[in-house]
Structure 1
Amino acid sequence: MYLKRKIDEYLLEWKQKPDKNPLIIKGARQIGKTESINHFAEINYDNIVYINFVFEQKYKTILSDGYEVENIIKNISLLDPTKRFEPGKTLIVFDELQEFPDIATSLKAFKVDGRFDIICSGSLLGVNYKKIHSNSVGYKTDYEMFSMDFEEFLWAKGYSKVHILEILEHMRTGTAFNETELNVYKKLFLEYCVLGGMPAVVKQYIETNTFTDTLEIQNQIRMDYEEDIRKYAEGLDQAKIASVYRSVPVQLAKENKKFQLSKVTKNSRSREYTGCIDWLRDAGVVSVCNCLYFPELPLKGNYDDTKFKLYYPDTGLLISTLDEEAQEDLRANRNLGVYKGALYENFVAEAFLKQGLGLYYYKKENSTLEEDFFVRTKTELVPVEVKANRNRSKSLRQLIENKNYSDIHWGIKLADSNLGIENNICTFPYFCTFLLKRYLAERD
């Protein structure tokens, strides 16, 4: 069973380019990179040369005669004479790039040679990407992949692009959803929150139509991530990295969600964790939300890198850190206390990350003014508030009405409610979050 992914269309467009670069697909483990590449390859190529540097370590010698294409092909053929190289009809896949990053140096030669299409893939865990980038700059195209987003989950459940466009049309026009629409999409959204977007988890759910065994798969994925920390985090304190990773759910449950290293271990200092958070972010297993100095444009460079929040890029994995009863409570939409706000905030951060939106928040010192997230149009800064309750949006209203915040004219509230627009605040149900980038683009 293959689950349709957004990368499918991207790969087709890449193949059709007459002067294409070798492609590097990067992302965290177990998000479906290899499965999507193999699905694309089987449909579109007469001949596939697939090499996995984890399971087939003998291929780590293929550069022994240098980086020229002819020498690499010769050495691959010596190791496996059944592999065929037909010009114009062959895709070469170098998988698990992090195990043999030197192969990236050959991408320039493959690009200049032009006879074969090349796709490299690897988890960010352990990838010395600076080295890979410097060795192939100008001769590669990067694509960052994530676990399935809510739109891909809807596809897996049988919903079409027509349904997606209907949701977007509600957002465009400010028209509330009818009772059927609201109930169906809210139920689907809660399923997605619990499951997350890891293809193995979603596939298990789709095939059985139950949540049985999905938690076990999620727990195994998190254990695999921690095993990769021990395997790949060279030159850093692996125990500290693992401690930061495990601390994210605990700190999100607190009222002040700013990540505090002092809460990881007693009397810890930030300099002791230098590089740990960067490693986790580059590995794709946490995402970093930066605190703005001031709520104004531009966003890049306008933040304090000592103040940040950390999220899991897959909310299903976050929920799997709780007990099994908590998953059942969420599916039943029962109260989870402080965790409910944390989970929905994590979902919004995940949705923003997968749309390519930056992660920024604001908290004014010595004040109650704070805002969960910010997005932007070409000319405006838009505050985004995530509401887990029915309380009024005081900070959102203050940001819109205060003339000191000249880039802000309207705001977005994401809540467990229907859609509505009032007093320059657009209220959207949580399940609309995956369409915010498209919605903002149409407002420009």
Structure 2
Amino acid sequence: MILKRKIYNKLLEWKNECVGTKALLIEGARRIGKSTICEYFAKKEYKSYIIIDFAKKNKQIEEYFEKYLDDLDTLFMFLQVHYGVKFYERQTLIIFDEVQMFPLARASIKYLVKDGRYDYLETGSLISIRENVKDIVIPSEERSINMYPLDFEEFCVALGEENLFEYIKNCYTQKKALEKNLHERAMLVFKQYMLVGGMPKPVISFIENSKDFTIADKEKRDILKLYRNDIMKINSNYREKVISIFDQLPGILSQHEKRVVFNKIEEKSYALQYEETFFWLADSMVCNECFMCSDPNVGLAINEIRSYIKCYMSDTGLLVSLAFSENELMEHEVYKQILLGKLNMNKGMLYENVIAQMLKSNGHKLYFYTSYNKEKHRNDIEIDFLISNNSKLNYMISPIEVKSGKRYTIKSMSKFIEKYKERINMAYIIHPKNLRFEDNILYIPPYMTIFISK
């Protein structure tokens, strides 16, 4: 089963616009589907192609690059013979898979693109980690894009729910509520998305096995094991800190504030000690960082406080499998309770994580906001997410609060709007109920988060 991915259109844009002037690097977490989409694209759009998988550490292939970068005719001859594939000028795609495993190949892009005979795609994770860029010059002939887990639209398409998605989209555009039964159906699809996630293999297993959550869960646990093995390969003294944060993510996100409190992880520890830890988790795209913004004005990044951080799992389906053991999922009927909207434990954690995931895949940088009241000795304003329109002339922000239950208050949102009303583009409450617009706040169900664009 080949999943329809939106990134295919970006690959087409690159092919049509760059015409031999730039390689394209696709960055994404492991098992996100980078290699699959590249090969599918190559089969559809080129006369021939090869995939060089640098994760396999083929010494002969590496030797070709080391010896013949100054003699590209000979390099291409050896590659054609090795893979048994004939190259055609301007009609052959060469794919460097997991290029971070052999930095020289990435550096060679400068010369290969300049040569101009063929097109080049690169895929990679941990692209910016020091050991993967050591002693190489990052080629200016390289353009990069990020690849994320399937978004809600792609999940709907995979499930054959295209018509439902188009209806949801029309309702959002017109700012009108869905018909009651269709809202309930959309929520059911969304809950499946939250439980299964957007990693391709679990999604395919879920669909091909009559929507069996347990089979999808096995695939997710294989991915989590792979991530943990990657962490154990970190050749640096922050490895144990990465493992610690990774293992404790469900516990951290199940707390009320959901931000990382460092001295709870390790006594007397502080944020600066974990700087490389979060860089690794973010660069590997295993996690999505969300920093506190102290003053939502002009540019959110200008006022970010990196010692106050929330760390979300990049895929909520993986978070479900990380949070519960296989036995817990079955014994506590987690799937059934979430589908029926009856799971109180950790529901807020899952909802907030999936909203972070959806915002991130839409290209938003994630920030949150809190305001501490000294008289009351507590936070009196807590906003889950702040996003901006990124306009340089008319900069505006949008506060977002996530409500997992149907009963809630909006005290924080009301105070925030009053305090920063001149800066606000649109305020959002994301809740399980239908769409409505009231007192300058747009209330939307979680499946409409995908339409909160830049």
TM-score normalised by L of structure 2: 0.90
Q: Distance in 1 between matches of 2:309 and 2:413?
A: 20
Q: What corresponds to 2:318 in structure 1?
A: 317
The question of 1:382 aligning with 2:398 is answered: yes
Q: What corresponds to 2:7 in structure 1?
A: 7
Matching of residues 259-278 of structure 1 within 5 Å? 259-278=260-279
The question of 1:395 aligning with 2:429 is answered: no
Q: Distance in 2 between matches of 1:410 and 1:142?
A: 31
The correspondence for 2:123, drawn from 101, 121, 128, is 121
**Helix, strand or coil at the partner of 2:203:** helix
Matching of residues 22-421 of structure 1 within 5 Å? 22-55=23-56, 57-58=58-59, 59-68=61-70, 69-77=72-80, 80=82, 82-124=84-126, 128=130, 131=133, 135-160=137-162, 163-209=164-210, 210-231=212-233, 233-321=234-322, 322=324, 323-324=328-329, 325=332, 326-337=334-345, 339-366=346-373, 367-377=379-389, 378=391, 379=394, 380-389=396-405, 390-402=407-419, 405-408=421-424, 410-421=426-437
Residue 143 of structure 1: CA displacement?
Answer: 1.3
Give the letter aligned to residue 387 of structure 1.
Answer: K
Residue 4 of structure 1: CA displacement?
Answer: 0.5
Provide, for residues 372-421 of structure 1, a one-character-per-residue CA deviation record: whole Å limited to 9, x for no partner: 0112234321111101231121111111123x553126411000100000
Q: Distance in 2 between matches of 1:129 and 1:350?
A: 28
Q: Distance in 2 between matches of 1:169 and 1:9?
A: 22
**Helix, strand or coil at the partner of 2:429:** strand
Q: What corresponds to 2:376 in structure 1?
A: none
Provide, for residues 287-315 of structure 1, a one-character-per-residue CA deviation record: whole Å limited to 9, x for no partner: 11010111323212221111111100101
Alpha-carbon contact 1:292-1:302 (below 8 Å) kept: yes
Residue 94 of structure 1: CA displacement?
Answer: 1.1
After alignment, is 354-363 or 94-103 more displaced?
94-103
Alpha-carbon contact 2:386-2:399 (below 8 Å) kept: yes
Q: Distance in 1 between matches of 2:135 and 2:156?
A: 35
Residue 89 of structure 1: CA displacement?
Answer: 1.7
Alpha-carbon contact 1:412-1:428 (below 8 Å) kept: yes
Give the letter aligned to residue 239 of structure 1.
Answer: E
Q: Distance in 1 between matches of 2:364 and 2:92?
A: 35
Q: What corresponds to 2:438 in structure 1?
A: 422
Q: Distance in 1 between matches of 2:358 and 2:8?
A: 19
Q: Which runs of 4+ in 1 moved over 6 A?
A: none
Alpha-carbon contact 1:98-1:128 (below 8 Å) kept: no
Q: Distance in 2 between matches of 1:182 and 1:86?
A: 52
**Helix, strand or coil at the partner of 2:66:** coil
**Helix, strand or coil at the partner of 1:406:** helix
Q: Distance in 1 between matches of 2:102 and 2:204?
A: 30
Residue 225 of structure 1: CA displacement?
Answer: 0.1
Change over 3 Å in CA distance of 1:109–1:208 after alignment to 2? same
Residue 74 of structure 1: CA displacement?
Answer: 3.8
TM-score normalised by L of structure 1: 0.92
Specify every segment of 5 or more residues in structure 2 that has no aligned partner in the other structure, as ranges.
Answer: 374-378
After alignment, is 191-200 or 206-215 more displaced?
206-215
Alpha-carbon contact 1:45-1:91 (below 8 Å) kept: yes
Residue 173 of structure 1: CA displacement?
Answer: 2.2
Change over 3 Å in CA distance of 1:427–1:132 after alignment to 2? farther
Q: Distance in 2 between matches of 1:179 and 1:214?
A: 30
Alpha-carbon contact 1:195-1:202 (below 8 Å) kept: yes
Q: Distance in 2 between matches of 1:268 and 1:217?
A: 35
**Helix, strand or coil at the partner of 1:213:** helix
Alpha-carbon contact 1:194-1:315 (below 8 Å) kept: yes
Alpha-carbon contact 1:382-1:409 (below 8 Å) kept: yes
Provide, for residues 111-148 of structure 1, a one-character-per-residue CA deviation record: whole Å limited to 9, x for no partner: 11111011111222785587289624320110110111
Provide, for residues 46-72 of structure 1, a one-character-per-residue CA deviation record: whole Å limited to 9, x for no partner: 211221112251211122225343343
Residue 271 of structure 1: CA displacement?
Answer: 4.2
Give the letter aligned to residue 432 of structure 1.
Answer: M
Q: Distance in 2 between matches of 1:9 and 1:133?
A: 34
Q: Distance in 1 between matches of 2:131 and 2:25?
A: 11
Specify every segment of 5 or more residues in structure 1 that has no aligned partner in the other structure, as ranges.
Answer: none
